[in-house]
Structure 1
Amino acid sequence: MSDFDVQKVMRKLRWPLLFGVSLALPALADTYYIDNPSLICKAHFKTSFNEFVTQDGDNFVLEFDEKQYQSKAGLFSKFKLGFKYNGLIEGKHAAMLLNWPDNSEKGILTILASDYPCRASYFKEQPIQMANSDETAGLNAEKKPTVQETDVTSSGNIALRGEIVSLIDTDKNSSSINDVQPVQSQKPFDAGSQSDPEKGPPVDTQSPSNQSSDVSQTTAPSISIAGISVNGPQGVVEGYVSDEVGIAELQINGRTVVVNSDGRFSAKTFVPIGGAVATITAFNAAGMSSSMAVMLERADETQTAFSFEELNPLKREVVPNEAAVAIIVGVGTYANTDADAIYADTDAQVFQDYAVEKLGVPANRIKTLVNDAADERGVLLAVIRWLTRAVEQGQSDVYVFFAGHGLASDDGEKMYLLPYDGAPELLDRTAILRDELFMDIAAANPRSVTVFLDTCYSGTTRGPEMLVASRPIAIRAKESAIPEGFTVMTAAAGDQTAKPLEEAKHGMFSYFLMKGMEGDADANQDNQITAGELHAFVKQNVEQQSSGSQTPELQGDADRVLVRFQ
């Protein structure tokens, strides 16, 4: 026999903690008295539970903190299952299961061990001892476990058998050692072609109330659990049932379950959200029965979760645009406001790859500024110096992407982009006026300019905060003219909020902008995407996902080709 693995039993009992869990007895139960424990139980007390069980003359005293060792199997608190206390104490070589039935004057103590299981009753008050009690009767009630050589000699079994021998030698009324024989543990149900080492040995949960101390009488069936699984509403309990006179019927929650010739069974039952208790009852040919309850847990499955396809700019190759230039800015966190632009920095970093793979911009002709690199000085220098040098006048297509906060002046006449170090309260001094930015870009004399702005000007943010606490009312930015040759696509109307798409971890506008560039926006399947096609795709999806509260807008040349597939 292999050594008893307490950890495996703990994993097993994590599901059922057999017979259920209920309301605890008064906190910190002090002392209990074990009634006439068998020789096997006494040996277990000394080898595995000596810190919990002590001997006072002929009395065996159990002391433990009920709250500390009470089962924590969540949903059992909903189902009393006939027990007002259920706990488990982990010993050195075995585990002790403690059950106290409702309306009972005694609790049931069960030692869970692979070779030498045993049971006893325990009382709050010291019980009256029966005269001339015979230890061998206790051995008979536990299927005559004896000391013999087993397949594998473990340290736990050596200690236990040594203690049994010692107890027998000191008991003049006990039978000889040759009457003591180890229990052969039942073989658990094997769900596959190989055994599952995680399941560990089965736990025999035969009801003690149905056992007899006389082996000449028929005992109740023995039920062992090998595995419990829940897949959505379908729960499955697998195990093994045996009886010396034969199993007549096995039921789960009152429904008959097929039992194989070797005692194996697989019982299915419905498990609602929140979990359920399944009661398994076995009847033998003599009319005796035993039952056990197991817990089947099912998580609350969220039915409203959405998922969005991962962005991938590598799906289709495009025609390179060697003269193109791109400036990409993303500010997710700010120095002078606690209101973050959620995912704005991520949007900018990902868009850099779309500029290369979908707009055809050479990688060495892209300037990307993220968070603290995107302060006012950094953004203005990128436009006034770097862009002016990079543009081939009259030949370069310029692409600008900005994700972050925007604000309008109190009268809605001016629109600002907020750099990393911008202060919402000092727009004129610390923010970048959108019209001036466009004029600086136009001064470089490119062939065309396409601007993508994942921002809004209402003063609201991608999160719950307002950019300016003293201005809680959203300001509607008035539409302003754009320079000739410019095409501008913005995330929202002047009084709306540019929202995040939480499931995709991107701004809503940015996600569908990039997804459309992959080819989804090519409405007429002509292997190219115009600004109008891209806007139509983004607008349809953003309005749908925002329930109509965010409407992307387009100004400029809707026929401008932005993406050319090979």
Structure 2
Amino acid sequence: AGRYEEAKKMGLKGTIEGQCPDLYVNLAYTFHKLDRPKAASENLCKSQKITEPKEIRNLTYLRLTELFEKGAKWSAGCEKMSPVKHEGTNYALIIAVGKYRDPKINPLKYAENDARAVYRVLTDPRTGLFKPENVTVLIDEEATEKNIKFKFDDMVQKARQKEDMFFVFYAGHGFTYRSGADTYWLTYDTIVGNSEGNRIKSTAFSNLTLATKIADIKADTIIFFVDACFSSGMVSKPAEVRGLETYLGGGKNYVIITSSQVDQTSIESPRLKHGLFSYFLIKALSGEADVNSDGLVDIEEAWTFIKSNVSKNAEKMGAAQDPRRSGSSGGSIYLARNPNL
């Protein structure tokens, strides 16, 4: 299909066979060219029906209303489709801890940059599928263990429809005990204690606590992006690391994408002024991962883009960093728009 103009008219490619008044086309578009009709490069035959694309949350659809002749070409008039009864709401919790109260925990230079950039792409009308009022950001002093728990509880109360989506981004340090016990997110007020980190268990935010919160969320779609050293403990159980997937039961679409393998370091780049993983996540959500040019970035495109670029660029820097993914999804999960379509 041709590109629309002011959501009023668009051209159609193909050959109309038969008389135009006899042609029946049931066709829908979105403002960002979500679904190109299969017949775009084929003949549009008399009485041929083209089914409407499936409805995607937070996007506006156009419906073909008329065909009219313009010179030697046929053009189409369009109108907005009626809104769906319930499309679901997207919620996000963005957490970044670069400064820690305990001097034993090394600071991170770019965690705040990462969080603020993720917020911008999620809420920018050109790229984002999230309304600003549905996105919570906790940075440094705000990201205490108590406050993180409170904000997760708040999301539990908000994401109460099956069609809702809950998106979590964390940039900071992760920790796993050698004994294979739980994995922890280090919060602003985490206390390390001795050389074995004996105080972390009682002062950090654990996967077990997180899983308890997640279990109460009614939303069927839950997405995690975690940029933290040894963050693959979030995913599964390599080397006896107990990950978040261990606690998540069935019945939900959940995807966990973490910045590195359990034995790798997650790189911060002075040149990019971001964590390497976060930088390519931001690029993906800015539309660069839309490889099929359908106007949207889905979870599969984002994952492929991030994994390839992080591994390749880490190697150029003389390091190894390979993102890891786990979880399952029963269909397309859309994260962002491509502003260039």
- TM-score of Structure 1 vs Structure 2, range by shorter chain: 0.5 to 0.7
Instruction: For 2:100, give the aligned amino acid.
Output: Y
Map of 2:241 onto structure 1: 477
Per-residue Cα deviation, 1:64-86 (whole angstroms, up to 9, x for no partner): xxxxxxxxxxxxxxxxxxxxxxx
Distance 1:342 1:317 in 2: 39
Q: Cα gap change, 1:478/1:546 in structure 2, threshold over 3 Å: closer, same or farther?
A: farther
**2:163 maps to 1:395:** yes
- C-alpha contact (below 8 Å) 1:355/1:361 kept by paired residues: yes
Q: How much has 1:435 moved relative to structure 2?
A: 3.2
Uncovered stretches (5+) of structure 1, i.e. residues with no partner: 1-315, 460-474
Map of 2:110 onto structure 1: 343
Distance 2:215 2:240 in 1: 26
Q: Which residues in structure 2 correspond to 1:295-314 (within 5 Å)? A: none
The root-mean-square deviation of aligned C-alpha atoms, in Å, is: 2.5
Q: Which residues in structure 2 correspond to 1:95-134 (within 5 Å)? A: none
Distance 1:389 1:478 in 2: 28
**2:211 maps to 1:445:** no
Map of 2:325 onto structure 1: 554
DSSP 3-state at the match of 1:556: strand
Per-residue Cα deviation, 1:205-227 (whole angstroms, up to 9, x for no partner): xxxxxxxxxxxxxxxxxxxxxxx
Of residues 437, 440, 457, the one that matches 2:230 is 457
Q: Cα gap change, 1:392/1:412 in structure 2, threshold over 3 Å: closer, same or farther?
A: same
Q: Cα gap change, 1:396/1:438 in structure 2, threshold over 3 Å: closer, same or farther?
A: same
Q: Cα gap change, 1:504/1:532 in structure 2, threshold over 3 Å: closer, same or farther?
A: same
Map of 1:363 onto structure 2: 132
Map of 1:328 onto structure 2: 94
- C-alpha contact (below 8 Å) 1:521/1:529 kept by paired residues: yes
Map of 2:152 onto structure 1: 383
Distance 1:406 1:330 in 2: 12
Q: Which residues in structure 2 correspond to 1:68-467 (within 5 Å)? A: 320=58, 323-336=89-102, 337-357=104-124, 358-384=127-153, 386-424=154-192, 425=197, 426-457=199-230
- C-alpha contact (below 8 Å) 1:323/1:392 kept by paired residues: no
Distance 1:395 1:458 in 2: 28
Distance 2:201 2:99 in 1: 20
Q: How much has 1:341 moved relative to structure 2?
A: 2.0
How many residue pairs get matched? 235
Map of 1:46 onto structure 2: none
Distance 1:317 1:406 in 2: 40
Of residues 284, 302, 306, the one that matches 1:538 is 306
Distance 2:185 2:158 in 1: 23
DSSP 3-state at the match of 1:546: helix
Q: How much has 1:411 moved relative to structure 2?
A: 2.3
Per-residue Cα deviation, 1:126-161 (whole angstroms, up to 9, x for no partner): xxxxxxxxxxxxxxxxxxxxxxxxxxxxxxxxxxxx
Q: How much has 1:392 moved relative to structure 2?
A: 3.1
Q: Which fold has the larger relative contact order, with Cα–Cα distance below 8 Å and residues 6 or more apart in sequence?
A: 2
Q: Cα gap change, 1:412/1:523 in structure 2, threshold over 3 Å: closer, same or farther?
A: farther
Q: Which residues in structure 2 correspond to 1:476-495 (within 5 Å)? A: 477=241, 479=243, 480-481=245-246, 482-483=248-249, 484-495=252-263
Q: How much has 1:564 moved relative to structure 2?
A: 4.3
- C-alpha contact (below 8 Å) 2:223/2:254 kept by paired residues: yes
Distance 1:443 1:500 in 2: 34
Distance 1:350 1:564 in 2: 15
DSSP 3-state at the match of 1:407: strand
- C-alpha contact (below 8 Å) 1:543/1:550 kept by paired residues: yes
DSSP 3-state at the match of 2:202: helix
Q: Cα gap change, 1:503/1:383 in structure 2, threshold over 3 Å: closer, same or farther?
A: same
- C-alpha contact (below 8 Å) 2:95/2:138 kept by paired residues: yes
Distance 1:347 1:401 in 2: 9
Instruction: For 2:91, give the aligned amino acid.
Output: V
Q: Cα gap change, 1:500/1:387 in structure 2, threshold over 3 Å: closer, same or farther?
A: same
TM-score by length of 1: 0.39
Distance 2:131 2:106 in 1: 34
Q: How much has 1:511 moved relative to structure 2?
A: 0.4
Per-residue Cα deviation, 1:321-374 (whole angstroms, up to 9, x for no partner): 761111111111100134012211221122111221334111111111100000
Map of 1:18 onto structure 2: none
Q: Cα gap change, 1:329/1:556 in structure 2, threshold over 3 Å: closer, same or farther?
A: same
Distance 1:394 1:412 in 2: 34
Instruction: For 2:148, give the aligned amino acid.
Output: V
Runs of 4+ deviating beyond 6 Å: 316-319
DSSP 3-state at the match of 2:113: helix
Please identify the structure whose Cα radius of gyration is greater.
1
Q: Cα gap change, 1:317/1:415 in structure 2, threshold over 3 Å: closer, same or farther?
A: farther
Q: How much has 1:458 moved relative to structure 2?
A: 7.2
DSSP 3-state at the match of 1:325: strand
Q: How much has 1:317 moved relative to structure 2?
A: 11
